[in-house]
Amino acid sequence: MGAITTTVEGFSISHAAILDPETGLEETFGDVYGVNSGSLDLTLGSFSNVGDDAILSVWDWVESAAVSVQAGYISFALIALLTGTSLSSSGAGDSIQYSMELWDETSFNIAEKPMRIRIPSRDSSSNTRLLDIILYKVKFKPIVFTGIAYKEGLKINYDGVALLSDTDHEGNSLTNKSIGRLISLASS
């Protein structure tokens, strides 16, 4: 192992969480427990400046990023956090029951939330690192269940759109609007 470098190799997603927009720390019930997979896909815009029957220049930009995280565990508390829906319980001990409204009409358009996607990695000197993708403002879509099939198990999808933001995940003003931040940090 050598000195820490700026070149990293990322592996599979290991963790995702919703962050508190004022502190940047993970929300109390913001952990996406049992992450199976995740993806981040950019929506790009482009304009070709045409003159004299030729393209003179091209302008490219990022409009947003589609984020998708699939988990094998269903967290009632996380669903409540993302949808603003109340979680209720009744009973006690082994007979306790948790319930909440599913796809309630008031739960579809709540405020955007920052999010962390964590990927174990190593740098070009083989030092163990973590690669964090911090998304400043994610507008979450209604939750979707998949895999209700024999031997597949029920999965839950947390999908959303990461939008350009003028503040970071801790509420600090940015000089230029950004979708997020890429961070390489020590794994311990």
**CATH number reported for the structural domain that contains residue 138 in this entry:** 2.30.110
Q: Does residue 107 lie within any of the structural domains?
A: yes
* Structural domains counted in the chain: 1
Q: Supply 174's token pair.
A: 């940015």
- Tell me the residue range of the domain where 156 lies: 8-186
Asked, for residue 55, whether it belongs to a domain, the answer is yes
From residue 162, give the alpha-carbon distance in Å to each of 113, 150, 178.
9, 34, 10
In this structure, are residues 130 and 185 in contact, taking their beta carbons and an 8 Å threshold? yes
Q: Quick one: pLDDT at residue 173?
A: 95
Residue 44 lies inside a defined structural domain of this protein? yes
In sequence order, which ranges of 69-118 are alpha helices (DSSP H)? 76-83
Q: Is the dihedral angle over the CA atoms 69, 74, 75, 78 positive or is it negative?
A: positive
Q: Report yes or no on 136 lying in a domain.
A: yes
Residue 2 domain-assigned (yes or no): no
For 61, the enclosing helix (H) or strand (E) is strand 54-71
User: CA-CA distance, 10 to 84, in Å (whole number)?
Assistant: 33
Q: Is residue 88 part of a domain?
A: yes
Give the model's pLDDT for residue 2.
Answer: 86
User: What is the rounded CA–CA span in Å between residue 73 and residue 34?
Assistant: 6
| Average pLDDT for runs of 10 along the chain of length 188 | 88 92 91 91 91 89 94 92 92 92 87 94 92 96 85 88 95 95 90
pLDDT at 111: 87
pLDDT reported for residue 188: 74
Contact 43, 162 (CB under 8 A): no
Q: Is residue 3 part of a domain?
A: no
**What does the alpha-carbon distance between residue 103 and residue 83 come to, in Å, rounded to a whole number?**
9
Helix (H, G, I), strand (E, B) or coil at 41: strand
Specify the pTM.
0.89
Contact 152, 70 (CB under 8 A): no
DSSP label of 154: -
